[in-house]
Amino acid sequence: MKTKALINLLSDRRIHSGASLATQLGVSRTAIWKQIRRAQGRGYRIETLKGRGYRLEDHVDLLDAERIRASLPGSLQESIDLRVLESVDSTNAEVARYRAGHSDDPGAGAVMVCLADTQTAGRGRRGRAWLSPPGENLYMSMGLTLRGGFTALEGLSLVIGVAVAEALERLGLRNVGLKWPNDLQHEGRKLAGILVELQGELEGVVQVVAGVGLNVHMREAAGVDQPWTSLSQAQEKTPWRRNDIAAELTSSVLAAVDEFAVNGFEAFRDRWQQRDVFYGHSLRAVQGEMEGIGRGIDASGHYQIETEQGIQTVRAGEVSMRVMS
């Protein structure tokens, strides 16, 4: 029996007796008890009510590859290699491993899209960990191929930020903000992060793994040291479903990357700018020791700060920026 089958039964968050779970899954009550322990070990919060049964404490809607595939546009149903896992160390690492094992023909074949219900070693930018509780958020990675050498990558992570923001807006989220270089925010709180990792380059063909972590149902996040939110907190009444969101994000990101490969970053500059949370605010570029007013991005996606010495630009990866209070 897989954890998934058990969690699916518990996902109505009602109390289920061990006996009824055992009957529905065709196993013994002892097997149910063991599986409950295993699920708890994976991070699912399941309450045991003495003499009554078990109850799932958090809102969980499990990923389902068939549902995601059915919600994708027909053209993508054929052209992506979709993998949905219960648990993995990191979806970015999984895509990189898979591609490293199939590196004979870089750039050919279906785009690999990998999602997992939980990550045991989710990675954030700047070597940070990415909290990945099971069943609550979206953790997805795509194996992308771009031509034109490393310069072809300039602006890519901002393009993905625009694509994720537009996907969420199509799903009904209002007031989505982009915090340079590529965090998504809602009312000043982090909603999603993007991690683009370079995998290799051969004769101008560059392979990258683009990962998106999006908070969907999360209500508690022990140890997160910055203001954060989730779709459910931002807009409680919207019925957020991870499978629908996964499909919308996949088609939005892949369409944006295709457009970027043909037309470059220029087509995305305004779309990014409209959502810039720094624009017009007093900023401090940490490490760059620069202070001034946020003036948006230039044609390559570098951030511009109006300082006493004039406009100065900062590159992603060089500095991090804070709004000064």
Instruction: Enumerate binding residues for ligand BTN (CB under 6 A).
Output: 90-92, 119, 122-125, 128, 130, 139-141, 183, 193-195, 211-213
State the nearest-atom distance from the C-beta of 215 to ligand BTN, in Å: 10
SS3 (DSSP) at 41: helix
Which of 99, 123, 125, 242 is catalytic? The answer is 125
Which of 190, 242, 269, 275 is catalytic? The answer is 190
Q: Does 179 qualify as catalytic in the annotation?
A: no
Closer CB to ligand BTN, residue 123 or residue 295? Answer: 123
Tell me how far CA of residue 33 lies from CA of 22, 36, 76, 210, in angstroms: 9, 5, 41, 38
What residues contact 129, with CB distance under 8 A and at least 6 apart?
Answer: 121, 122, 123
State the nearest-atom distance from the C-beta of 316 to ligand BTN, in Å: 12
Tell me how far CA of residue 242 lies from CA of 135, 171, 230, in angstroms: 9, 11, 12
Closer CB to ligand BTN, residue 21 or residue 316? Answer: 316
Work out the burial of residue 280: count CB atoms within 10 Å of its CB; fewer than 13 is exposed, 13-18 middle, 19 or more buried. exposed
Distance CA 168, CA 175 (A): 10
Q: Does 275 qualify as catalytic in the annotation?
A: no
Q: Does 125 qualify as catalytic in the annotation?
A: yes
State the nearest-atom distance from the C-beta of 128 to ligand BTN, in Å: 6
Closer CB to ligand BTN, residue 183 or residue 306? Answer: 183
Whether the Cβ atoms of residue 11 and residue 61 lie closer than 8 Å to each other: yes
Closer CB to ligand BTN, residue 157 or residue 232? Answer: 157
Whether the Cβ atoms of residue 86 and residue 117 lie closer than 8 Å to each other: yes
Closer CB to ligand BTN, residue 216 or residue 314? Answer: 216
Closer CB to ligand BTN, residue 5 or residue 85? Answer: 85
CB-based closest residue to ligand BTN: 193
- If one counts every other C-beta atom within 10 angstroms of the C-beta of residue 133, the result is 23
State the nearest-atom distance from the C-beta of 17 to ligand BTN, in Å: 36
Strands of 189-202's sheet, edge to edge? 80-88, 111-119, 138-147, 205-214, 189-202, 183-186, 176-179
Structure tokens at 4: 């998934």
State the nearest-atom distance from the C-beta of 193 to ligand BTN, in Å: 2
Whether the Cβ atoms of residue 195 and residue 75 lie closer than 8 Å to each other: no
State the nearest-atom distance from the C-beta of 132 to ligand BTN, in Å: 7
* H helical segments located in the chain: 3-10, 18-25, 29-41, 65-70, 74-79, 91-100, 156-170, 231-234, 242-263, 266-273
Active site positions, annotated: 125, 190, 322
